[in-house]
Structures are given as C-alpha cells and as structure tokens.
Structure 1
Amino acid sequence: MLRKLLVGLWMLLLCIAISALFWKNEFKYSLPTPIPKNYHDIVMGSKIDLKCCITDSRPIFIHFFNPDCPCSRFNIPHVSGLIKKYGDRINFKIVVLNKEKDFSIEEIQKKFDAKIPVYFDNGIAKSCGVFSTPQAVILDGSRNLYYRGNYNKTRYCTNADSNYAQMAIDSLLKQTKTPSFDALALRAYGCSLPKCTK
C-alpha cells in the first residue's frame, strides 16, 4: 500500500514538473503579449521619424530582437534568410531590446551572419509601437509604417502559408496594396518589454 502511494506521489510530481516545463518553455509564448498600460498605438501608415536609421531611400526592415527571448532565438534562421534574400532591396536593421545584459554589435551580427546596423535604442520600439520581441517593422520608401507584426504563426517560422513579414516585403516591393493580415500576424506574441520577459 505504501509503495503504491509513493509511486502515485512520484507520478504526480513528475506530471507537475513536466507541466511547469511546458508552461515555461512553450505555452506561455503562444499567448498574446499583454499590452502595456501606457502603450501608445502607432497606426499603420503613420510617418515614422527614425533619424538614426536612414541611409538611403530604400524601404527599411527593423527586426526587434532580444537574445534572451526564446521566441527571438528561434526565428534567427528565418530573419537571416530574409536578410540574404532581400538585403539588396531593403535596408535591414536590428534593434536589440534587453536592459538586463550588454551585447556587442559584433555578437549580434554574428548571430545573424550579417553585417547590418545594430541599435540598442528602446526609443525606436516606442516610435514604431513595438512592445514585444520578436517583431518585424517595415517602413516604405516614404518612411510610413507599412507593417508591424509577427514573422509567422508558428514559433519556428516553418509555416510557408503564414510568413507574414515576408508577404509584407513581397507586397511592398511589388508595390501592390498592403495585404490584409489576421490577428495572428498583427497581435504581438513573444517576450514583453521593457525587460523582454513573459
């Protein structure tokens, strides 16, 4: 009888531990990121003033990234692929949002295998209406907000039918009407600012 009780307790503890790990590493990141209390929404089509990031008249793609956010880490290969595919037609930038640690520009560039500008300015996120990582922001040639949202509906960016950021790039480059996206594209998922934790 005692042995059955101990085995039952052991199984219960094991189930609790597995559930806690699942919550910590997976499920909580599938929930929408809470909108901050003092959040000021930036409407699509708004002019975005980013004096720091303007180098020429090409559209700008800003990747908001936190090296400590699991969601950010999982989409590094996807973002690297976008940089390689569109880097000659789009100005790619990375904005690192992490107040807890210092990272060098070289460390970030190495992660993405790309020599693109890296910024550590939280003000850029505020200017674009970004409050979580990872997020993609695309500004058209006139510096209007063309897209702000997720990369994909899956955490690993593996669903070709929901490559939202890539669809927005393609639409912008073809100068077609901005595609209409569902809530999975436009509602923030990932790690919350300012500390980029969930």
Structure 2
Amino acid sequence: MAKKLLLGLWLCLLLFAISYLFWQNEFKYSLPTPVPKNYHQIAMGSRIDLGKCWVTNNKPVFIHFFNPDCPCSRFNIPHVSGLIKKYGDQLNFKIVVLNKHKNFTIEEIQKKFGADVPVYFDSAMAEKCGVFSTPQAVIIDPSHNLYYRGNYNKTRYCTNADSNYAQMAIDALLQQTKSPSFNALALRAYGCSLPKCTK
C-alpha cells in the first residue's frame, strides 16, 4: 500500500513538473500580451514623428523592438538577422532596445544580430508607434506613416513561411501592392510586456 502511495505521489509530482515546464517554456508565450491600462492606440496609417536623429534617405524604415532579456526576442534573432540581410539595401533597419534594468552596448546588440545597423535605447519610440511588448516589428513608409505594427510570425521560432507577417508586409510595401489583410495572430501583441518586459 505504501509503495502504491509513493508511486502515486511520484507520478503526481512528475506530472506537475512537466506541466510547469510546458507552461514556462511554451504555453505562456502563446497567450496575448495584456494591453496596458494607459495604452494609447496608434492607428495604422498614422504619421510617426521619427525626429531629426533618424535619417531615412526616403526609404521605408523597419524598426525591431527588442529586449535581450525577453525569451521571445531571443527566439527570433536569426529571423530578424535574415530580414536585415535580405532587405538591408531597400529599407532602413533600426533596432530599439527596450530594457530598463540592464546596460547593453550598441556593439553587443549589433553582434547579436550580426549586422551593423543603428541601435537606439529609446522607449519614447515605442509609445510613438503603439508598441507595448517585445519583440515587435514596425514598418514606416517613406512618408513616415505607420504601415505595419505586429508580430513576425505565429510561431515563436519564425519558421512558418505561411505566417511570415513582417516579411509579407515588407514585400507588399516594396512592391507597392495593397497592404495585406492580417488576422489577429499578426496584429495582437504576443511576447514580453513593457516596461518590465516580463511574460
């Protein structure tokens, strides 16, 4: 009887441990990021004030909002690096680091992406673009209007070609076709919430 009880307790503990690991490593990242109470919605098509420091050369601007401590941000580094390599001559790529608790140098961030792109530590840009989680992609057209704000893919590792939302938006803008119609998986924020960047 005692052996059965111990076996039952051990199985329950094992099931709990597996469930906890699944929650920590997978399921919680499939839940939408809660919208902050003081969130100010920025509509698609809104003009974005980039300021004098953001030289654009009349090219579209692609802003990657990134937090080195956010697992979701780390998962899609290879995907963002691939976009920079593929479209780097057609868009102005910028990385905005949103992390108030640690210091990262520009060089460290550039090394993570294997790209010499401008890096900013500017949380005000997130507010201007309506971003409240990381990672998020923002595309601003040459007239400085918000063209796309959303996710890179519906999968954490950005491996599903059918839901490469950010890349689809890039292609539509560059080909000057009608902006694609995206579903909630593209436009609803998933990832680490700001300002603490926790999930």
What TM bracket, shorter-length normalisation? Answer: over 0.9
Q: TM-score, normalised by structure 1?
A: 0.98
- Which 10-residue stretch deviates more, 49-58 or 38-47? 49-58
Other structure's SS at 2:64 match: strand
CA shift at 1:196, angstroms?
0.8
Structure 1 segment 121-140 matched on structure 2, within 5 A: 121-140=122-141
Structure 1 segment 66-77 matched on structure 2, within 5 A: 66-77=67-78
Instruction: Find out whether 1:104 has 2:113 as its counterpart.
Output: no
What is the aligned partner in structure 1 of residue 182 from structure 2? Answer: 181
- Runs of 4+, deviation exceeding 6 Å: none
Q: TM-score, normalised by structure 2?
A: 0.98
What is the aligned partner in structure 2 of residue 86 from structure 1? Answer: 87
CA shift at 1:118, angstroms?
0.4
CA shift at 1:172, angstroms?
0.4
CA shift at 1:54, angstroms?
2.6
What is the aligned partner in structure 1 of residue 120 from structure 2? Answer: 119
Structure 1 segment 13-92 matched on structure 2, within 5 A: 13-51=13-51, 52-92=53-93
Other structure's SS at 1:142 match: coil
Question: Gaps spanning 5+ residues in structure 1: where?
Answer: none
Other structure's SS at 1:3 match: helix
CA shift at 1:55, angstroms?
3.5
- The percentage of aligned residue pairs carrying the same residue is 80
Count how many residue pairs are aligned between Structure 1 and Structure 2: 198
> Aligned partners of 1:100 and 1:21: how far apart in 2?
26
> Aligned partners of 1:25 and 1:93: how far apart in 2?
28
> Aligned partners of 2:55 and 2:195: how far apart in 1?
25
Letter in 2 for 1:184: L
What is the aligned partner in structure 1 of residue 11 from structure 2? Answer: 11
